[in-house]
């Protein structure tokens, strides 16, 4: 709550996102780019093992996660990738919140 009151919404969501990812690193660190690239593959449907792990191990339907994604995630995936790699705040609070609270960027799933 202290951090939420201290930082602007976008900065707080970015901090929350990194916590949600379970990351020990942060934007700009070596593990960030591979994590974003893996997430983009997942969003493009190129990681069927991820979808299966969600279904069997976590009892989560990936299509339900995607239904709740903000329009930018559906409309312009290359832009989402560019923003995540260079300036995540450009995605806006809704998209950052979505990335923070789902397993797409989680390397352990």
Q: Which two tokens stand for residue 28?
A: 């700009």
SS3 93: helix
pTM above 0.75, yes or no: no
- How high is the pLDDT of residue 8? 81
Q: How much is the CA Rg of the chain, to the nearest whole Å?
A: 13
Q: Interior CA angle at 96 toward 39 and 59, to 5°?
A: 55
Tokens of 51: 């979808």
The DSSP result for 66-77, as a single string, is HHTS-HHHHH-H
Per the structure block, which two tokens stand in for 37? 């690239």
> Between 101 and 3, where is the model more confident?
101
> What value does the mean pLDDT take over residues 40-51?
95
Residues 6+ apart with CB under 8 A from 37: 81
Q: What is the pLDDT of residues 68-103, one digit of tens each?
A: 999 999 999 999 999 999 888 899 999 999 999 989
Mean pLDDT of the chain: 85
Higher pLDDT, 64 or 6: 64
Domain locations in the chain as residue ranges: 44-109
């Amino acid at each position: 709550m202290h951090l939420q009151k201290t930082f602007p919404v976008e900065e707080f969501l970015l901090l929350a996102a990194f916590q949600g990812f379970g990351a020990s690193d942060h934007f700009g660190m070596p593990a960030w780019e591979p994590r974003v690239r893996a997430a983009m593959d997942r969003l493009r449907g190129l990681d069927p093992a991820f979808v299966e792990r969600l279904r069997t191990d976590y009892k989560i339907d990936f299509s339900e996660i995607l239904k709740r994604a903000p329009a930018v995630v559906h409309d312009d995936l290359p832009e989402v990738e560019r923003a995540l790699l260079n300036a995540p705040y450009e995605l806006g609070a809704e998209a950052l919140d979505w990335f923070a609270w789902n397993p797409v960027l989680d390397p352990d799933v």
